[in-house]
């Protein structure tokens, strides 16, 4: 079996039979394939967005959203500064930010699981093992990028705001809060793919450590609960 075929098989099995993948990854961690897949799909979506968006309209939307408490002169200064930045420059900044940010988030989660595992059992699983698990269990995130890509291509006259790129966010699917609502941010950043990835990570942690699903869920969800709990608390205060 070739490396490419092996990665393809792991990809399919992670989505359809994840319990068969965890022993393979524990024995032979693989990071590059899932990480590149996640980065490339996210970056492709962003590139298509900036290639098709009505840039002047987008700038107006961003000024309106961020400059509610500004004077008319301040809003015009903000609009001028944003318009002066070429569209391709903003695209490059967004793509680089997405690639670096996604990698950093996955690495932090892997470091967290490594630390927790050492505190509990002092097992020999290293950082690369946990990063491999985090990357592979995050594979469902590609469906968010693909759904967003379809949404971008179907947008009328390129007039699609950044906040509405993801059509399967819980806010866009269920709640339809406006940007000024305190719950808009948290609900707009969550979608079924994220839940799917989290469940896979809980299963993987349980399989690797022998911990029950309940305890594994508490460990994996702890940073999520802290982050989103703090976000919602601050937004509602």
Q: What is the pLDDT of residues 68-85, one digit of tens each?
A: 677 778 888 888 988 899
Residue 47 has pLDDT above 50, yes or no: yes
pLDDT in tens, 195-218: 999 999 999 999 999 999 999 999
Distances (CA, A) of 64 to 67, 80, 93, 176: 5, 13, 21, 19
**Environment class of residue 101 by beta-carbon count within 10 Å: exposed (0-12), middle (13-18) or buried (19+)?**
exposed
Residue 95 has pLDDT above 60, yes or no: yes
Lowest mean pLDDT among 89-98, 141-150, 156-165, 205-214: 156-165
Residue 67 has pLDDT above 80, yes or no: no
Cα separation of the two ends of the chain:
56
Q: What mean pLDDT is predicted for residues 168-180? A: 94
Residue 97 in tokens: 């930010």
pLDDT in tens, 117-153: 999 876 679 999 999 999 999 999 999 999 999 999 9
Mean pLDDT of the chain: 93
Predicted local confidence at residue 156, as pLDDT: 84
Q: What mean pLDDT is predicted for residues 98-121? A: 96
Q: What mean pLDDT is predicted for residues 34-40? A: 98
Lowest mean pLDDT among 46-50, 85-89, 120-124, 191-195: 120-124
Which residues does 235 contact at the CB level (< 8 Å), separation at least 6?
182, 183, 185, 186
Find where tokens 């982050």 sit.
227
115 pLDDT tier (thresholds 50, 70, 90):
very high
3 pLDDT tier (thresholds 50, 70, 90):
very low
Predicted local confidence at residue 65, as pLDDT: 78
In terms of Cα–Cα distance, which of 131, 115, 109 is closest to 29?
A: 131
In terms of Cα–Cα distance, which of 102, 83, 104, 205 is closest to 145?
A: 102
Predicted local confidence at residue 122, as pLDDT: 64
pTM of the model: 0.93
Residue 4 has pLDDT above 60, yes or no: no
């Amino acid at each position: 079996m070739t490396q490419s075929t092996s990665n393809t098989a792991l990809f399919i099995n992670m989505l359809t039979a994840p319990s068969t993948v965890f022993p393979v990854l524990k024995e032979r961690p693989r990071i590059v394939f899932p990480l590149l897949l996640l980065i490339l799909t996210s970056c492709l979506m962003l590139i298509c967005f900036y290639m098709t968006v009505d840039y002047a309209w987008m700038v107006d939307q961003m000024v309106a959203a961020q400059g509610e408490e500004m004077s008319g002169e301040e809003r015009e200064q903000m609009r001028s500064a944003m318009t002066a930045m070429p569209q391709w420059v903003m695209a490059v900044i967004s793509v680089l930010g997405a690639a670096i940010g996604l990698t950093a988030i996955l690495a932090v989660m892997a470091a967290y699981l490594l630390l927790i595992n050492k505190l509990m059992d002092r097992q020999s699983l290293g950082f690369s093992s946990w990063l491999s698990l985090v990357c592979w269990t995050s594979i469902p995130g590609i469906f968010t990028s693909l759904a967003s890509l379809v949404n971008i291509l179907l947008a009328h006259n390129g007039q699609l705001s950044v906040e509405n790129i993801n059509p399967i966010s819980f806010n866009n699917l269920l709640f339809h809060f406006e940007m000024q609502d305190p719950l808009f941010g948290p609900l707009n950043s969550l979608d079924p793919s994220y839940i799917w990835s989290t469940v896979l990570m809980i299963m993987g942690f349980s399989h690797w450590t022998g911990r029950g699903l309940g305890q594994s869920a508490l460990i994996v969800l702890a940073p999520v609960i802290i982050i989103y709990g703090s976000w919602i608390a601050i937004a509602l205060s």
